[in-house]
Amino acid sequence: MSGSATDNKVDAKKYIIHEGIVFAIELSKAVHAPDAAIGGRSQLFELLSTIAELFKLLVITLPHSGVSVFLYNCAGVHHHIHRLLGLRDINGWAMKHLNGILQNHLTGIQTLEERFPVSDEPTPLPKLFNTVYDEFVSKEYNWNKFFWVTSMKGDEYLDELYHTPELKNTIRRTIMDFNNRNIHLHPILLGDASRWNERDLGQYEELLFNLPSHSNPSDAPATDTQDHLYSPSLTFVAADEIKKRILRLKEVQRFQFLVDLYLSFPQLTAMLAQTSPENASTLAVVSLKGYAVFSQEKFDRSINMTYVDELNRFKEVQAAMIKVDDASSGVPQSEKTNGDGCFVTTYKLGDESFHLTEEQKLTVRALNDLIMAYDVSEAPEEVFDSAHLQRLPENVLVESHGEDKTFGPLSLTLRVKPPFLVVIGFAAMAAHPRHLSVAPPSFMTANVSWTANFSNSFKVYSSLYQACLKKKKCILVYGVTRKNTNPGLYVMYPTAKSATGLIDEKEHGAAPARQTHPEGFYLIRLAANDDYRSDPPYLLELVQDYYNQLGMASPDNLPEQNKDIPELVKSFTKLCKHFVLRDGYVPLDYPNPNINYFMDMLAQQLSQVEDTKLVHAAIDTTPSQTLLKHDVTLQTLQRVHESIHADNGAALALLKLINSRLNSVANDQELSFMSNSPMTAKKPATEGAVTDADMLYAWKNGNIHYYTMAQLKNYIKQNEATLGFGPTGTKQVLIGRLTEFLNLKNGMD
């Protein structure tokens, strides 16, 4: 029992995103030289300033990410490798250090060329890769990405490296170590692709990617180049595209899953016909990418098996391990039997227990596979031809029925395996507000990279988006976004603000938010069976009792603990009218007060100018007032507090009423199960003989340790034949043996 809870916590931690990013930037005269394409700034300044901006974005979205920067071919340091920033979680010191270097360059105190001079001797590439590898090993991250920024092209060192077997083998061994540690190498070649000839690219591919362990295409990032001669793992970046390319890392950081959306319903076909007639008679399948909109704290959600008893109450299924003579019979061993036997999992429903045989377990697994898959054979007949089936991806199973094994529309079943999403219907946008979600939403875009299972995804995705905007509809979908997750019910919500159909902010006097949403869909998870099963059993019983007795003539006939529920619903309805939900989250409106205050103080120290406003503010205001001035969250809470007290105390009185009723419901539930709680159980007596009933009661409440050593020895002597051990050993040993025996006897693990 305790082991399963630990496993659940470990599984929950797997989905917390911790990404480590290392930049290794090559120094050269061309990198330090001003470039007219980026306004006269050098490429190195553009790289470092973009990384500083990336810091600010990741602080909001993924604060547990780590970013490190190395500059190689740098004079005056060991092995010509300068470690500018170590691989640590994003922190204020790293941001201050990097911003200080950039400010010194802009003010002329110390330019980047003076601070990081170019060495006469190039840095050995094996040494650079080994240094980066040691940096990744020093701190564990879920995802490791190594971005190697270089402008090296066809020089003598690359030729020497390529034609020297020892150096070449060293590079390959290091790349193999990268793959074993899940460190993904992403070379960024500065300059236009036309500057690179096929010979140089062939040498890079031979050195870096000619390994069997890198044959998985999912390990390589997608690029925008369409030249089939270039490897998809090589990214060309011109000077004016450096900022855009690096800031796309926040998309890589926020990337969550790849999934195919199957559109196979007549309603969709009619909608597509209005914007894209050529797609109206085909089975539309869209390859999608999902990105995280924001991150939040994770909680361990345990999904319990439940059943409904004879009183229509939800009860939790108790699972236990028992020792049996034969797994097929399920008959427990007698207490005096010392046979080998085996342990099986039993499930208790009411007063009866049962276990699953091996055949039944196989049936359950097959049923689970059937649930996880989905039948998309409700498609137009025109799509079932051999030419179309040849384009289906590998994760689609084609099953034919009948002796002829034909691919006719009546003899074919298409069953897709996870991950997948299937459209099951459409609804008005107002029927599914975006804030009614049980999990953080994901932003969906069309997957136009070479890793997509289906082509023309962008065209179909665009047609679907335009059709939903025109009809003011959202899409209800069912499916699995990852292979290791359970199926769920989702709504795909268009991001266009003008077509939401929700509260008009202008009518409520609120300032309209800036349009910061890209065009696409939000994937919002709705509450499903698994979410309801994760609720505590007493809460399920409370809700079930309420709905079972709603048919009574008068609310006065409801049980005492349920009388407050109808009034709570009415009170919350009134309370919602006092507030307006803002349309969307704009990160720029929520600056980090710690970072802003730190930057203000840093600017004063560097400029040696004392801000009199801050001095007078520190003297004339209290610490709480100073914090309120700089903290946006506290300012928002202050505005909410003022709005509650602004309407003659009506909202305040309503909040007090809701609070009292919630306390009443909570107290009733607390009293209902406090009598059975181990916290209220009486402690065992430390004098007198211990009976079997006393020992069983103490074991259930975890109070065996309250018995004295003499009581435990006397009890074990009286029951030595049944227990199978004598009263020898320390008190802790005796308690452990008794607990193990009682666990086994009562079907606990």
Burial class (CB in 10 A: 0-12, 13-18, 19+), 419: buried
- The three-state secondary structure class of 346 is strand
Report, as an integer, the average pLDDT of 177-184.
84
Query: Looking at residue 592, what is its pLDDT?
Result: 67
Query: Looking at residue 314, what is its pLDDT?
Result: 62
Is there a contact between 741 and 723 (Cβ–Cβ < 8 Å)? yes
Closest by CA position to 419, among listed 293, 290, 529, 292: 290
Judgement on whether residues 153 and 25 belong to the same structural domain of the protein: yes
pLDDT at 320 over 80: no
| 499 φ/ψ angles, rounded to the nearest 5 degrees | -110, 15
Question: Which residue has 């330090």 as its token pair?
Answer: 32
pLDDT by residue (tens digit) across 558-571?
A: 445 455 566 777 77
pLDDT at 244 over 70: yes
Judgement on whether residues 204 and 262 belong to the same structural domain of the protein: no
pLDDT at 449 over 60: yes
Predicted confidence band of residue 749 (pLDDT cuts 50, 70, 90): very low
Query: Looking at residue 652, what is its pLDDT?
Result: 78
| Rounded Cα gap, residues 627 and 597, in angstroms | 10
**Of the residues 469, 502, 530, which one is the last residue of a structural domain?**
530
Angle between helices 623-630 and 593-607 (to 10 degrees): 100
CB atoms within 10 A of CB 93: 10
Predicted confidence band of residue 48 (pLDDT cuts 50, 70, 90): very high
With respect to residue 291, please indicate whether it lies within any of the assigned structural domains: yes
| 36 φ/ψ angles, rounded to the nearest 5 degrees | -70, -25
Higher-confidence position of 87 and 295: 87
Higher-confidence position of 28 and 485: 28
297: alpha, beta or left? (left if phi > 0; alpha if psi -120 to 50)? beta
With respect to residue 406, please indicate whether it lies within any of the assigned structural domains: no
pLDDT by residue (tens digit) across 50-84?
A: 998 888 877 776 777 889 999 999 998 888 999 99
Residue type, 406: T
Query: Looking at residue 101, what is its pLDDT?
Result: 92
Predicted confidence band of residue 115 (pLDDT cuts 50, 70, 90): very high
Tokens linked to 300: 């361990």
Q: Cα separations (Å) of 268 from 225, 479, 481?
A: 33, 17, 21
Calculate the average pLDDT of the chain. Answer: 70
Judgement on whether residues 185 and 117 belong to the same structural domain of the protein: yes
Query: Minimum mean pLDDT among 56-60, 239-243, 553-557: which range?
Result: 553-557
Q: What is the number of structural domains in the chain? A: 3
Higher-confidence position of 675 and 392: 675
Question: Which residue has 């804030």 as its token pair?
Answer: 435
Q: Which of 91-100, 499-508, 584-593 has the highest mean pLDDT?
A: 91-100
With respect to residue 85, please indicate whether it lies within any of the assigned structural domains: yes
| Rounded Cα gap, residues 614 and 425, in angstroms | 58
CA triple 465-470-471, angle to 5 deg: 100
Query: Looking at residue 367, what is its pLDDT?
Result: 62
- The three-state secondary structure class of 440 is coil
Residue type, 336: K
Q: Which domain holds residue 700?
A: 681-745
Query: Looking at residue 82, what is its pLDDT?
Result: 93
Predicted confidence band of residue 157 (pLDDT cuts 50, 70, 90): low
259-290: b or e for each residue (b if 16 or more CB lie within 10 Å)? bbbbbbbeebbebbeebbeebbebbbbbbbbb
Q: What is the DSSP string of 19-49?
A: EEEEEEEE--HHHHSB-GGGTT-BHHHHHHH
Burial class (CB in 10 A: 0-12, 13-18, 19+), 392: middle
CA triple 598-601-604, angle to 5 deg: 150
**Of the residues 247, 274, 289, which one is the last residue of a structural domain?**
247
Higher-confidence position of 601 and 249: 601
With respect to residue 365, please indicate whether it lies within any of the assigned structural domains: no
Judgement on whether residues 200 and 267 belong to the same structural domain of the protein: no
Tokens linked to 557: 């006939």
Judgement on whether residues 266 and 154 belong to the same structural domain of the protein: no
Query: Minimum mean pLDDT among 158-167, 435-444, 653-662, 691-700: which range?
Result: 158-167
Judgement on whether residues 282 and 188 belong to the same structural domain of the protein: no
With respect to residue 181, please indicate whether it lies within any of the assigned structural domains: yes
With respect to residue 379, please indicate whether it lies within any of the assigned structural domains: no
Judgement on whether residues 204 and 288 belong to the same structural domain of the protein: no
pLDDT at 223 over 70: no
Query: Minimum mean pLDDT among 96-110, 188-202, 428-442: which range?
Result: 188-202
pLDDT by residue (tens digit) across 533-551?
A: 666 665 656 666 655 555 4
| Rounded Cα gap, residues 486 and 530, in angstroms | 8
pLDDT at 236 over 90: no
Predicted confidence band of residue 23 (pLDDT cuts 50, 70, 90): very high
Judgement on whether residues 69 and 147 belong to the same structural domain of the protein: yes
Judgement on whether residues 291 and 434 belong to the same structural domain of the protein: yes
Query: Minimum mean pLDDT among 169-183, 255-269, 273-287, 475-489: which range?
Result: 273-287
Report, as an integer, the average pLDDT of 158-169.
74
Assessment of whether the complete model's pTM goes beyond 0.85: no
> What proportion of the chain, given as a percentage, has pLDDT over 70?
54
- CATH number of the domain where residue 468 is located: 2.40.290.10
DSSP state of 194: G
Tokens linked to 9: 């916590």
With respect to residue 388, please indicate whether it lies within any of the assigned structural domains: no
Residue type, 184: H
Is there a contact between 105 and 111 (Cβ–Cβ < 8 Å)? yes
Reduce the secondary structure of 293-357 to three states and give it as a string. CCCCCCCCCCCCCEEECCCCCEEECEEEEEEECCCCCCCECCCCCCCCCEEEEEEEECCEEEECC
Query: Looking at residue 374, what is its pLDDT?
Result: 55
| Rounded Cα gap, residues 316 and 304, in angstroms | 7
| 610 φ/ψ angles, rounded to the nearest 5 degrees | -95, 125
- The three-state secondary structure class of 57 is helix
| Rounded Cα gap, residues 519 and 469, in angstroms | 11
Judgement on whether residues 91 and 129 belong to the same structural domain of the protein: yes
pLDDT at 394 over 70: no
| Rounded Cα gap, residues 429 and 471, in angstroms | 10
Q: Cα separations (Å) of 299 from 8, 10, 12, 296, 407?
A: 11, 12, 8, 10, 47
pLDDT by residue (tens digit) across 360-391?
A: 777 766 666 655 555 554 433 333 333 333 33
Query: Looking at residue 372, what is its pLDDT?
Result: 57
| Rounded Cα gap, residues 32 and 11, in angstroms | 47
Report, as an integer, the average pLDDT of 677-701.
71
CA triple 495-518-52, angle to 5 deg: 135
How many angstroms from the chain centroid is the CA of residue 677? 35
Predicted confidence band of residue 611 (pLDDT cuts 50, 70, 90): low
- The three-state secondary structure class of 457 is helix
| 478 φ/ψ angles, rounded to the nearest 5 degrees | -130, 140
Query: Looking at residue 655, what is its pLDDT?
Result: 81
Query: Looking at residue 281, what is its pLDDT?
Result: 46
Closest by CA position to 704, among listed 723, 678, 677, 722: 678
Q: Which of 35-39, 241-245, 252-256, 437-441 has the highest mean pLDDT?
A: 35-39
| Rounded Cα gap, residues 395 and 260, in angstroms | 10
**Of the residues 247, 279, 308, which one is the last residue of a structural domain?**
247
Is there a contact between 234 and 189 (Cβ–Cβ < 8 Å)? yes
Higher-confidence position of 434 and 216: 434
| 550 φ/ψ angles, rounded to the nearest 5 degrees | -65, -25
Query: Looking at residue 183, what is its pLDDT?
Result: 87
| Rounded Cα gap, residues 419 and 480, in angstroms | 5
Query: Looking at residue 197, what is its pLDDT?
Result: 65
Judgement on whether residues 75 and 122 belong to the same structural domain of the protein: yes
Judgement on whether residues 211 and 233 belong to the same structural domain of the protein: yes
Angle between helices 632-646 and 650-674 (to 10 degrees): 100
End-to-end CA distance of the chain: 6
Report, as an integer, the average pLDDT of 111-130.
89
With respect to residue 212, please indicate whether it lies within any of the assigned structural domains: yes
